[in-house]
A and B are shown apart, each in its own frame.
Chain A
């Protein structure tokens, strides 16, 4: 009996220490997707928070499993248990269900509030006209992402609707991505910015984020879109300073000038390729 009490204490202590150590380690560890945008920061905060809650619960269930499986064999319980107690205990059951309900409901409330505050989008847009040129950094700059088998092109409606094959964004400027497709369903994934939205033909999927760190990043397709889906990625997406952005967009405008008259006018969606059965 004494052994058992000691064992219970040891398992409890190990659990508490492991929970605290794990949670502290999590708090200091890098949490994906990082801090390169406000959206990414809020996602990594959510992931951190979930992990902080999940780890002690996870460890607790494992500790209980370990206890019942191992300690009971080494130091067998001796107390006589009534037949009823062997078959259930309403109080324990109610408590367990109440506890899990509370955790789950608070998670749902937290998630809903986070969604309401961040307004991260990835939802169909209701506006049809392009946004005007932003006059400040918290007014969104509209950037269109057009997916097709098997690459992305980008259009900047406030810069005459020019089309580029490289994605370049000004830092600290709120960006509104408008994602659409010309053929099948793709998904635009800018990992570092925490941006992901399916590209669906005739649909305008909107995601908003403000990049906060300059750098060169990877964008890729994350929805299976056929043969070369695995190669539909690009390591040259850039977040640059506003002045670099101005220079770049100027260059692109000059480059695009000869083909501008062949481009379809800017629009939130485009008629998909008419051939739906390949060629």
Chain B
């Protein structure tokens, strides 16, 4: 009993290295089997390998990576009859006393995983942002300058797929994993190993996606429309495998969150008394768990088409491009709400803290998010209004899409109600909250123009759509993300950023963001299609305006990252225990949060928004940390 755990632990300590070795070995085996045994690529580009070789190589390398990290130890050990891990083992796996090193291995501590997510999200936000800078530099002139047609489309595809990837985990990943268990008063996720898996699937996904540049790139953008995808060189396989792993992570994370939230709430916390952020995570998790299978199925079918010539989406082979379009958008539309619902939750969670008022209309707020979630499954054909599907389908999708404005509007109702008669504190996170409202308002109103079929005829596939979803994703989700980083870092790291300096940074991103995308709204209205390297000369002034603002926006985003790294990692500015004077349970536990969160599971009393009475939300037992001034 005493030798086995030490071996397992020692292996786990070296997990990352073993993982990399496993990935290399996996790739070699997969590539060899794929190339030799299956061989015969249908693709034109044989110089770098074959589709079966690349796809199998990537699949086995992801598996090898996870095995090296130690994901197979537990299931295989149990299959071979090993005993359940001891308390001690569990505490070790949870990262107890692991110091900094636990951030570089597989652990089952949701707080470690939350921070791992945060770092990864920021890394991909940065890489994806660099891509955008290249794109906007290219578009300074109406004809190709720094890129050629192939590299430009690869840039567009990489930027968008990386950002979609980043955005689908940007809030749930760091803040959902870190705070949901604390907010609902539990020590652990329902499936801690699964939770670790959802994180560790993503670095391989990101690297596989990026590897497309060595394989000739891909020309389909993030939507991967077939049969164009069938025509593409090996770089397409990187997109497919990367997206499959992302889909897997979204789905598994959803299942884990649903199980956790439904079964592990503290005593005294019915669903009707859950912090609203937890509600947003619950709704989002249902979307992820139900939508991602469609994506995974679609990319698997496309992988088969590229290796076994199944021609699911190729008309000449009896397939249909519409099959891909429908599967993709059946995932794709709920996906956009996977981005934004957690942002709704965060905003409504933070507002009472800065208004010093209870959340106004908690129940309708929850209803609004549930309504958005349910409706988001029946609107996907608004992406296909001009695709040539039967016109009789369109009124329904127009109706359902426009209906989404109603539950979405409720978020504004709740927020305005909370702000009403409040003396709002304009701390830096509040500025980002304000920007969220402003940007999402434009995002939502541009959406209305797109959901109406006659106006969508003109606007579909133009820069107007591009501006629409940048307003909703970057303007709403990423601004909420930045606000939440400022707000929650003191809790997550015990350190803080210079919130005065950040106010300048805030105005810089806010103004340059709007400058960029207002220009692009105009560009779209004037008739510029998306994803083109060449455009009509009359569109140059507006494009230049967008590009110049975009480059400044890139600098402002880099400034945020710079301040973050400088203050939190290098200067290590110490934060107050509860700088915003929040009543939330997450702010009442000590910083750093103990490995198992609570000595005694708290008993929930009320929603954590009683700023009028100042009543604490939960009873922490004999020694309430809030009362001892920890």
Q: Which residues from chain A sit less than 8 Å from chain B, CB to CB?
A: 32-33, 39-40, 42-44, 46-47, 50-51, 54, 57-58, 61-62, 64-65, 68-69, 72-73, 76-77, 79, 81, 83, 86-89, 92-93, 96-97, 100-101, 103-104, 107-108, 111-112, 114-115, 118, 120-124, 179, 183-185, 187, 189, 191, 194-198, 200-205, 218, 220-231, 233, 235, 271-274, 276-279
Contacts and interface: CB of A to CB of B under 8 A. Distances in A.
Given A100-B406, A276-B227, A223 B417 contact: no
Given A68-B420, A231-B149, A276-B317, 11 more contacts: A58-B442, A61-B437, A73-B423, A87-B361, A96-B410, A111-B395, A185-B225, A201-B227, A230-B531, A272-B315, A278-B44
A93 B386 contact: no
Contact of A221 (B391, B441, B529): B529
Nearest to A179: B388
A197 B536 contact: no
18 contacts: A46-B454, A47-B455, A47-B458, A65-B419, A65-B438, A96-B410, A101-B406, A108-B402, A122-B386, A123-B388, A184-B227, A200-B387, A223-B461, A227-B150, A229-B532, A230-B152, A235-B536, A277-B231
A42 B455 CA distance: 9
A32 B459 CA distance: 10
Contacts, number: 271
B227 A185 contact: yes
Interface of B: 42-44, 149-150, 152-153, 219-221, 223, 225, 227-228, 230-231, 311, 314-317, 321-322, 357-364, 385-392, 394-395, 398-399, 402-403, 405-406, 409-410, 412-413, 416-417, 419-424, 426, 434, 437-438, 441-442, 445, 448-449, 452-455, 457-458, 460-462, 525-527, 529-536, 612-613
B424 A68 contact: yes
Given A54-B448, A222-B462, A69 B527 contact: no
A222 B525 CA distance: 14
B361 A88 contact: yes
In the A-B complex, the 4 residue pairs with the smallest Cβ-Cβ separation, listed nearest first, are A123-B391, A230-B532, A205-B388, A68-B419
A42 to B, nearest CB: 6
B316 A220 contact: no
A224 B221 contact: yes
B169 to A, nearest CB: 25
A42 B453 CA distance: 11
B111 to A, nearest CB: 31
Contacts of B311: 276
A50 B448 contact: yes
Contact of B389 (A104, A123, A201): A123
Contact of A230 (B149, B358, B413, B445): B149
Contacts of A87: 358-362
Contact of A115 (B395, B525, B535): B395
A274 B406 contact: no
A253 B500 CA distance: 74
